Structure 1
Amino acid sequence: MKIGLDIMGGDYAPKATVLGAISAYKALSDQEKIVLIGDKDQALPFFAEQDFNPDLFEFIHTTETIGMGEHPTKAILQKPDSSLGLGFQLLKEAKIDSFASAGNTGAMMVGAMFSIKNIPGILRPAIATVVPKLKGGYGVMLDVGANADCKPDTLLQFGMLGSLFAENILNIENPKVGLMNIGEEEEKGNMATQATYPLMKETSLFNFIGNIEGRDLFNDKADVIVCDGFTGNVILKLAETFYILTLKKGLKDEFFDRFNYEQYGGSPFLGVNAPVIIGHGISSPEAIKNMILLSKNMIEAQLIDKIRAVFK
């Protein structure tokens, strides 16, 4: 197993990415290798600080990077030798089994769709995020930013993708899928959710339990929360704020501690032909470590093959 990591991605790269990779290395077996993609010369001082042998990693050296503010499509096309561009090239050539970066989110999505492409049958890939539940455990919400507007058949597919992720990565048996809406009644919502409801109600591909409301996000009503990327991103950013507010108020609470993005590392980009993990721009070493471990779990679970089998 080879897990690819863009060591130049993120606000605190390459220090945070190197320290995170070192931490993840200690949690992996000898058969699970991390491939570091980026400027080796910039990374080496941080290995020296930790008295850690950099030769324990495979390096793909490049000095070119894609900045956070660069136009995603232009950057991918004009910078094929960037750490992000090379990562997707390696993924396309099956020289790595997954690719993760805390760099430019738009470039990560464009790079994935240009290189490894959508799984056949997938209309639009989605970014998923893990949602902590009040009574313990986790759910998954998607989309949280890849698709601001969604058609009903796309939302239906999100239910399938989320259900497969919940079952194979979160180990939830027969996960309950809910459609985020402004009311529980079947006729509630905008045109997209009203048209999506009957599609989900009639499908046998997942366990649809109906509409859910924002107040149901953290209870056990649904394991998979389906929404368009605009709604999902607003919810995600609001949820992340809960953790920040508890810190500012000096509150210590186990539930709100689980809103700390570092625990999850990154968000899987579901619907493309290999595991791709998008990290938070402010990713710390702990977040990078967990992003690598999520990559490993997705490879081990053969999630992409299972998604392919459903969409044949």
Structure 2
Amino acid sequence: MRIALDAMGGDYAPEAIVKGAVLAAQEIDESATIVLIGKEDVVNSLLKEYGYTGNNIKVINASQVIEMGEHPTKALTQKPDSSIAVGFGLLKMQKVDAFCSAGNTGAMLVGAMFSVKAIEGILRPPIANFVPKLSGGYGIILDVGANAECKPEVLEQFGELGSIYAKYVLDIKNPKVGLMNLGEEEGKGTTVTQAAHQRLKANTGINFIGNIEGRDLFNDKADVIVCDGYTGNIILKMAESLYDILHSKGIKDPFFDKFNYEAEGGSPILGVNGNVVIGHGVSSPIAISNMVMQAQKMIASKVWERFQKNYSE
């Protein structure tokens, strides 16, 4: 198992990334290798500074860096030896099993779509995120930002992708799928959500329980929450703000601690040919370590191969 990690991506790169890799190296399976991609001399110097003496971190040189504010498509074209371009190249050639980065989100999305590409049959790969549940554990919400507007058939596919992820990565036996809407009744919502409801309802491959409302986000009504990326991103940012507010007021609670972006470390892109995880730009070493651990779970569950199988049948 080889997990590639962009050493140059993120507001606090490369220091926070390398430090996070060192933390993850103490936790991952002994047979796993973390592949740090970046300026080799810089990365090796930091590994030495942080006292790393193990053998499960390897370094691959990438001479260029895509900065956070650069235009994604232009940057990937003009910087073929950037850490993001090299990472996707390794994933495409299956020389690594996953690629993680806290760098330029747009470049990560463009790389996922045009380098490793969407699995045949996938209409619009979504970014997923995790929803803490009051009863314990997590659900999954998708999309949270890749596709601001979605057709009904795309929302239906999000339900399928989320179900597969919830079943095999989150270990939820028969995940319940809910469509985020402004009312529980079947006829509520926009023309798009009404049509999506009918498609999800008719889909025998998922356990669709109907519309859910915002107040159902953290209860057990649904394990997989389906929405367009515009809605999902607003929900995600609001949840993050709740943690920030409570933290600033000195209020500590185990449930709300799960709202901290560090808890899972990143958001997977689902439906592409490989395991891809995007981290928060301000990722700390703990967040980077957790992102690597999340990639390990995805690889072990063979989730993207299960996506492939589902859409090839």
TM-score by length of 1: 0.98
Equivalent AA in structure 2 for residue 292 of structure 1: V
Distance in 2 (alpha carbons) for counterparts of 1:288 and 1:213 = 32
Distance in 2 (alpha carbons) for counterparts of 1:89 and 1:288 = 21
1:217 matched to which residue of 2? 217
Would you say the 8 A contact 1:47–1:54 is kept in 2?
no
SS in 2 for 1:141: strand
Equivalent AA in structure 2 for residue 20 of structure 1: G
Distance in 1 (alpha carbons) for counterparts of 2:238 and 2:113 = 28
1:293 matched to which residue of 2? 293
Equivalent AA in structure 1 for residue 262 of structure 2: E
2:138 matched to which residue of 1? 138
Distance in 2 (alpha carbons) for counterparts of 1:94 and 1:225 = 31
**Structure 1 pair 88/269, CA: closer, same or farther in 2 (3 Å)?**
same
Would you say the 8 A contact 1:98–1:275 is kept in 2?
yes
Identity of matched residues, %: 58
Q: Deviations over 1:257-311 (max 9, x none)?
A: 1111111010000010100000000000001001111111111100011111111
Distance in 1 (alpha carbons) for counterparts of 2:122 and 2:43 = 38
Equivalent AA in structure 2 for residue 68 of structure 1: M
Instruction: State the Cα distance separating 1:6 from its structure 2 match.
Output: 0.3
Would you say the 8 A contact 2:151–2:192 is kept in 1?
yes
SS in 1 for 2:117: coil
SS in 2 for 1:309: helix
1:66 matched to which residue of 2? 66
1:13 matched to which residue of 2? 13
**Structure 1 pair 25/214, CA: closer, same or farther in 2 (3 Å)?**
same
1:172 matched to which residue of 2? 172
2:186 matched to which residue of 1? 186
Distance in 2 (alpha carbons) for counterparts of 1:201 and 1:265 = 33
Instruction: State the Cα distance separating 1:46 from its structure 2 match.
Output: 2.5
Equivalent AA in structure 2 for residue 139 of structure 1: G
SS in 2 for 1:129: strand
Listed as ranges, the gaps of 5+ residues in structure 1 are: none
- After the TM superposition, which of the residue ranges 126-135 and 50-59 deviates more from structure 2? 50-59
Instruction: State the Cα distance separating 1:54 from its structure 2 match.
Output: 7.1
SS in 2 for 1:235: helix
Q: Deviations over 1:206-252 (max 9, x none)?
A: 00000000000001100000000000000000000111001111111
Distance in 2 (alpha carbons) for counterparts of 1:255 and 1:293 = 21
1:228 matched to which residue of 2? 228
Listed as ranges, the gaps of 5+ residues in structure 2 are: none
- Write the mapping of 1:1-312 to structure 2, written as runs, cut at 5 A: 1-53=1-53, 56-312=56-312
Distance in 2 (alpha carbons) for counterparts of 1:254 and 1:59 = 36
SS in 2 for 1:52: coil
Distance in 1 (alpha carbons) for counterparts of 2:29 and 2:197 = 45
- After the TM superposition, which of the residue ranges 56-65 and 116-125 deviates more from structure 2? 56-65
Would you say the 8 A contact 1:3–1:295 is kept in 2?
yes
SS in 2 for 1:298: helix
SS in 2 for 1:311: helix
Instruction: State the Cα distance separating 1:53 from its structure 2 match.
Output: 2.7
- After the TM superposition, which of the residue ranges 233-242 and 254-263 deviates more from structure 2? 254-263
TM-score by length of 2: 0.98
SS in 2 for 1:281: coil
Distance in 1 (alpha carbons) for counterparts of 2:287 and 2:193 = 34
Q: Deviations over 1:125-160 (max 9, x none)?
A: 000001001121110000000000000000000000
SS in 2 for 1:4: strand
Instruction: State the Cα distance separating 1:73 from its structure 2 match.
Output: 0.9
Equivalent AA in structure 2 for residue 260 of structure 1: N
Equivalent AA in structure 1 for residue 30 of structure 2: D
